Amino acid sequence: MQASAQFDTHYRSIYVKRLSIIIGLCIALVLSLMLDLTAGPAQLGLAEIIQGIIDPQSLSLRHQIILWDVRLPDALIALAVGAALGLAGIETQTILNNPLASPFTLGVSALATLGASLAIVVAPVIPFLPNNAVLPAMALLFALLGGGLILAFTKFSGGARESVVLFGIALVFLANALTAALQYVASAEAVQAIVFWTIGNLTKVGWNELFIVSFVFVCVLPFSLRHVWLMTLIRGGEAQAKSLGLNVSRLRALVIFRVSILAAFAVCFVGAIGFVGLVGPHIARMLLGEDHRLLVPGSILCGALILSLASFLSKALLPGVIIPVGILTSVIGVPIFLFLIAKQRKVS
Amino acid sequence: MITRLVLILWMSFSSLLAMAQIKITDIAGRDIVLTQAAQRFVMSEGRYVVPLSIVRPENPVAGLVGLMSNIGLANPELEKQVFSRFPDARNIANFGGRAENSVSVEKIIDLAPDVAIFGLQDHGPGSRNAELLAQLAAAGIKVVFIDFRMDPLKNTRRSIEILGQIFSQEESARAYVSYYQQKLDKITDTVAQLDTRPNVFFQAHAGRFDCCVAFADGMLGPFIEAAGGNNIADAVAPGPTSTHTEEFLLTQDPDIWITSASGTISDYKAGKKPVALGFGMTTETAQISLASFLDKPAFQALTAVKQGRAYAIWHNYYNSPLNIVALEAFAKWIHPEAFAQLSPELSMQEIQQKFTQFDIKGIYSVALKSE
């Protein structure tokens, strides 16, 4: 009786500690968003920004455009894309039981890049589709195609996770090779445009793109949250999960399905922002442990936080000039990552 | 007596030989000696047909046996004209694809040129490509570097002179260089007397690259300063080109906004995004193309756009000896009063009549609003 009470207190204290980490991450995210919103060459302080959000008319036209067309969509898409990649990342790592997995291991981003490259090189005119929507549409289409192939293969191969990972990696190589082939025949300008796209850039999106990414994220999230218990169970070992009656193959197909959609929408507008989907979940895991009830929200928050900080730095490092955000996600993510690994070693 | 005669003959022959030798110091600072004017040669980029046509207008591509990238890549219209005027040009071999890493040294050697002409740093082999240079040297192929891209203000004239030397066409080279010099001096002298330097944002590939990639201190970027403007991207950026948000534009609110237009008439007709200029375009269509790119709140809020001081310049002035026309256009746009008499479009026609001989019917620079 006493032992059980002790466990109970211990569990509670861990839970409270982890919950406070989540709250801490939320606060950090809000701060980072504010930081990101204040960064830029225009003299727009936080007070003016808040005022401008509440009452846009209070700002001059120029500042209105800066706040509403430049800063807000850029800062918010960082959160949306970061969150989507964080969620997609943790789900992929768990369902494939592979710490190196991320949505990009499944070939989603490589295929999105192939689609984008095709759009850049061929620049097709598609009826009923505005010109500036062609590139994201092609990127999305190809990313979804990649997801579809993985899914079909998962079904076909009986859902063994090693073969899914291998198939994903094979897809990555194939897509990379085709992209390289396209670059080989493309003009120098097109090659440069492809390189820009591959590095990733948040500054080209507007409200429509933001709404689309957020909408997809909000649609997928409930399904992920519904499965947090099952995912935690899988972390304890696939054999055990199976013995408890869980249809792992079916769950794997479901997760791959939603992760592909999520990652495809996340990258199609802003380019192949790698790393967030890999390192966000790891940071969350080191902070919060394996319980997916906390790990899933934690991974979402970490992904959003990394991308938001990267977005801030991309504007702040060289005032007036944009450093592509994809360069900075790793620059920020790696030190945090190494710090946590070192800290964990110390503890153990 | 006979010995003497032989000696005289030998001496005059050797002096003839010495005279025929062509000594060149190329843009990379390398000394090259050619025993005679180039008969067979290869070049890196197809767009160099334009400087070729300046030094040898009667047939720029005679003896051109290989190109890394074909003419049509940068300028489809030019390729069409070259092919129709010089059908043999269809047989020019390719020794690579689009970039330095695609170059086949074996193919170059197989083409057996006397001379290989490369840009100091274009999309083809660069002057730091030691292995390729050694291989070509071993095969007895002389490599000469020219440059219209990295530092065009300084290197354009010298590069034309070098081409004149390579083909023993010094006269036509000199004619263009002095034409260029005259135009350059006129602008430099006038700018030196002006006491204002309006702020200019010079955007690259509007509609093709994301907003807003700018020419900072690379390529055509320094032309802004030379034309009497202040290049606002150069002031903040560390490299040759730089990326900015629309916020930068709105905050700096430049007096003049210029873009390089890399769209073509067929892009324009297909409704594609890049701002279009060049062969087949008219002032009206070019203005429509430019206006539709600028039809966004952020651009509409710019003083330059409101006052009609937004302009587009043909992208192919980049990496071309015709860049002096771009300088004229910039000068006229940045200091309209001081340079009222300049007409870039007329200069373009003049260059076509006097030098290149290619049909250039079209518009190569345009203002958002006609004067």
3-state secondary structure chain B: CHHHHHHHHHHHHHHHHHHHCEEEECCCCCEEEECCCCCCEEEEEHHHHHHHHHHCCCCCCCCEEEEEECHHHHCHHHHHHHHHHCHHHHHCEECCCCCHHHCCHHHHHHHCCCEEEEECCCCCCCCCCHHHHHHHHHCCCEEEEECCCCCHHHHHHHHHHHHHHHCCCHHHHHHHHHHHHHHHHHHHHHHHHCCCCCEEEEECCECCECCCEEECCCCCCHHHHHCCCEEHHHHHCCCCEEECCHHHHHHHCCCEEEEEECECHHHHHCCCCCCECEECCCHHHHHHHHHHHHCCHHHHCCHHHHCCCEEEEEHHHCCCCCHHHHHHHHHHHHCCCCCCCCCHHHHHHHHHHHHHCCCCCEECEEECCCC
pLDDT at res. A309: 93
pLDDT over threshold 60, residue A172 = yes
CA distance B53 to chain A (A): 23
Q: Is B76 near chain A, with CB under 8 Å?
A: no
Specify the higher pLDDT residue, A154 or A172.
A172
- The least confident of A190-204, A208-222, A304-318 is A190-204
B210 chain-A contacts, CB cut-off 8 A: 196, 201, 203-204
Q: CA angle, corner A211, sides to A210 and A214, nearest 5? A: 85
CATH code for position A112: 1.10.3470.10
Instruction: In whole angstroms, give the CA distance from residue A77 to residue A64.
Output: 18
List pLDDT tens digits, range A7-39. Answer: 888 888 888 999 999 999 999 999 999 999 998
DSSP-based three-state secondary structure for A159: coil
- Cβ A183–B98 below 8 Å, yes or no? yes
Domain that holds residue A168: 14-347
Instruction: Give CA separation, A276 vs A194, A315, A319, A337, in Å.
Output: 20, 19, 24, 11
Residue B16 pLDDT: 54
Tokens of A176: 């990379």
Residue-level length of chain B: 371
Q: Does B149 touch chain A (CB under 8 A)?
A: no
Please say if the pLDDT value at position A90 is more than 70.
yes
pLDDT range class, residue B218, cuts 50, 70, 90: confident
When CB atoms are compared, the residue of B97, B209, B267 closest to A196 is B209
Say which DSSP state A323 is in.
Answer: P
Question: Does some domain include residue A1?
Answer: no
- Report if residue A146 sits inside a domain: yes
- Average pLDDT on B292-314 reads 94
DSSP A132: G
In a domain, A7, yes or no: no
Asked if the model's pLDDT at residue A74 lies above 80, the reply is: yes
Q: pLDDT value at position A123?
A: 77
Q: Lowest mean pLDDT: which of A220-234, A271-285, B305-319?
A: A271-285
**pLDDT (mean) for B153-170:** 95
- Across the interface, whether the CB atoms of B102 and A123 are under 8 A apart is answered no
Q: In this predicted structure, what is the pLDDT of residue B15?
A: 54
Any CB–CB contact under 8 A between B239 and chain A? Answer: no
How confident is the model over B136-155, as a mean pLDDT?
Answer: 92
Could you report the predicted ipTM of this complex, rounded to two decimals? 0.74
With both helix axes pointing from N to C terminus, report the angle between A72-95 and A248-270 in degrees, rounded to the nearest 10: 160
Q: Does position B10 have pLDDT exceeding 80, yes or no?
A: no
Give the pLDDT score at B11.
58
What local confidence, expressed as pLDDT, does residue A1 receive?
53
Gap from A130 CA to chain B (nearest CA, Å):
10
Within 287-346 of A, beta carbons closer than 8 Å to B belong to: 315, 318-324
Determine the residue of chain A that is closest to B302 in CA distance: A62
pLDDT recorded at residue B74:
75
**Inter-chain residue contact A42 with B237, CB threshold 8 Å:** no
What mean pLDDT is predicted for residues B156-175? 95
Helix (H) or strand (E) holding A114: helix A108-122
What pLDDT sits at residue B105?
87
The reply to whether A130 touches chain B by the CB within 8 Å rule is no
Q: Given B98, B250, B270, which is nearest A186 (Cβ)?
A: B98
In a domain, A57, yes or no: yes
Tell me which residues of chain B, numbers 105 to 124, contact chain A at a CB-CB cutoff of 8 Å: 123
First to last CA, chain B: 81
Smallest Cα distance from B271 to chain A, Å: 8
- Touching check for B337 and chain A: CB below 8 Å? no
Which tokens go with A250?
Answer: 């079916």
Looking at residue A106, what is its pLDDT? Answer: 84
Q: Half-sphere exposure (CA, 13 Å, Cβ side) for B357?
A: 13
Average pLDDT over residues A269-293: 88
Mean per-residue pLDDT, A270-283: 87
Position A62 in a domain: yes
In a domain, residue A297? The reply is yes
- A118 CA: distance to closest CA in chain B (Å): 14
Q: How confident is the model at residue A244 (pLDDT cuts 50, 70, 90)?
A: confident
Three-state DSSP class for residue A59:
coil
Nearest CB among B208, B242, B297 relative to A69 is that of B297
Residue A168's SS3 state is helix
- The verdict on a CB contact (< 8 Å) between A318 and B238 is yes
Mean pLDDT, to the nearest integer, of A59-87?
A: 92
Give A333-347 pLDDT, tens digit per residue: 888 878 878 887 776
Q: What is the pLDDT of residues B184-212, one digit of tens each?
A: 999 999 999 999 999 999 999 998 887 78
Q: Under an 8 A CB cutoff, do B209 and A62 touch?
A: no
Q: Which tens digits make up the pLDDT trace of A311-330?
A: 999 988 888 888 888 888 88
Q: Has residue A301 got a pLDDT over 90?
A: yes
pLDDT at B8: 64
Note whether B273 contacts A: Cβ–Cβ < 8 A: yes
Q: Is residue A2 part of a domain?
A: no
Residue of B nearest to A64 (CA): B298
To test the contact with chain A by mutation, choose from B231, B245, B250, B272 the residue with the greatest count of A C-beta atoms within 10 A, namely B245
pLDDT of residue B223: 96
pLDDT score of A114: 94
Number of Cβ within 10 Å of residue A285's Cβ equals 21
Q: Give the pLDDT of residue B70.
A: 85
Could you tell me which residues are beta bridge partners of residue B242?
B214
Domain count, chain A: 1
Q: Measured between alpha carbons, how far apart are the two ends of chain A, in Å?
A: 30
Average pLDDT estimate for A75-85? 95
CA diameter of chain B: 92
Mean pLDDT (whole number) for B247-253: 92
Cβ contact (<8 Å) for A40 and B298? no
Task: Answer yes or no: do B245 and A74 touch at CB < 8 A.
Answer: yes
Q: Is B97 touching A (CB cutoff 8 A)?
A: yes
For residue A84, pLDDT beyond 90: yes
pLDDT number for residue A337: 77
- Contact list in B for residue A69 (CB cut-off 8 A) is 246, 297-298
In a domain, A140, yes or no: yes
Range B72-89 average pLDDT: 88
Residues of chain B contacting residue A133, judged by C-beta atoms under 8 Å apart:
none
Among A180-189, B55-64, B181-190, B229-238, which is the least confidently predicted range? Answer: A180-189
Residue B365 above 60 pLDDT?
Answer: yes
Note the pLDDT of residue B261: 95
> Is the distance from CB of A167 to CB of A148 less than 8 angstroms?
no
> What token pair was written down for B32?
């090259």
